[in-house]
Amino acid sequence: MKALGIDIGGTGIKGAVVDTKRGRLLTDRLRLLTPKPATPDAVSTVLAECVKHFDWDGPIGCTFPGVVKGGMVHTAANLDDAWVGLHAAELFTKATGRPVTVVNDADAAGEAEARFGAAHGEPGLVIALTLGTGIGSALVVDGRLVPNTELGHLPLRGDGAEKWAANSVRERDELSWEDWAARVSEYLVMLEDLFWPDLFILGGGVSKKAEHFVPLLTCRTEVVPAELLNQAGIVGAALAVHRHVDKHGDEGQALPSTKKKHHHHKH
């Protein structure tokens, strides 16, 4: 099974054709700049360009950095406000002429890690976080995703946690690894006091530099960097194409492996 996975981020829009059975990229990664401002029309144009580049006529899975339910965008904290209330799946389907499924970016990355990466076969509760422009979260319980958690917006130090501990804040304020790790630790301790997870996975571009900060973290829960690094979003986007659509039309969760044969989707 193959799908084109496209990861929409604050600075880049990245795409590749993905083998969704193995979670591997089948092509090089194409990286295009996110248009400024990132209006729905401008982003749709870049998406169409990406599809054309790969000469792709199959299904497309796409991430979005906000709450997405049933293809509809509900929040866009770090992107243009014009997205809120927009049916992104419809818009992208029109722009590309191919069926497009849209899911939250952190959920996509978390799902990819659950299937093929650091959370593979991990029992219990895994919290996968993306530390980027904002902070995204994916809750994975015994391999099954609980979609659209927004733990990056939990209040911390008087504002949403992502305003204190995101990687963009480290870069903007030129924080040392020590200072930033202290902030991330404070955030992780809050999360573990509330959720008591069995494992944290830290993703986002900065996971490539995990050796600089992961050893400095002081929470009690085990922390590992994302294994798929900057490919998690693309792989997770492609996986979304096979997601079960529940009775509310939400492209919510991956099917537990025991039920797979009853709900097999062919693409």
Q: How far is the CB of 9 from ligand BGC (least distance, A)?
A: 7
What is the DSSP annotation of 93-134? HHHHSS-EEEEEHHHHHHHHHHHHSTTTT--SEEEEEEESSS
**Which residues contact ligand BGC by CB under 6 A?**
65-67, 75, 77-78, 104-106, 130, 132, 134, 136, 150, 152, 162
Q: How far is the CB of 3 from ligand BGC (least distance, A)?
A: 20
Query: Which CB sits closer to ligand BGC, 56 or 92?
Result: 92
Query: Which CB sits closer to ligand BGC, 118 or 151?
Result: 151
Query: Which CB sits closer to ligand BGC, 136 or 197?
Result: 136
Residue nearest to ligand BGC (CB): 136
Residue 151 phi, psi dihedral angles, 5° rounding: -70, -15
Place of tokens 């693309």: 234
Q: How far is the CB of 155 from ligand BGC (least distance, A)?
A: 14
Query: Which CB sits closer to ligand BGC, 56 or 204?
Result: 204
Query: Which CB sits closer to ligand BGC, 113 or 150?
Result: 150
Q: How far is the CB of 211 from ligand BGC (least distance, A)?
A: 23
Q: What is the dihedral of CA 196, 201, 203, 207, to 10 degrees?
A: 120
Residue 128 pairs with which residues in a beta bridge? 138, 201
Find the helix packing angle between 105-116 and 232-239, rounded to 10°. 90
Q: How far is the CB of 4 from ligand BGC (least distance, A)?
A: 20
Query: Which CB sits closer to ligand BGC, 99 or 205?
Result: 205
Query: What is d(CA 258, CA 38) in angstroms, rounded to the nearest whole number?
Result: 40
Burial classification of residue 36, based on how many CB atoms lie within 10 Å of its CB (0-12 exposed, 13-18 middle, 19 or more buried): exposed
Q: How far is the CB of 191 from ligand BGC (least distance, A)?
A: 15
Query: What is d(CA 72, CA 243) in angstroms, rounded to the nearest whole number?
Result: 16
Query: Which CB sits closer to ligand BGC, 17 or 149?
Result: 149
Q: How far is the CB of 79 from ligand BGC (least distance, A)?
A: 9
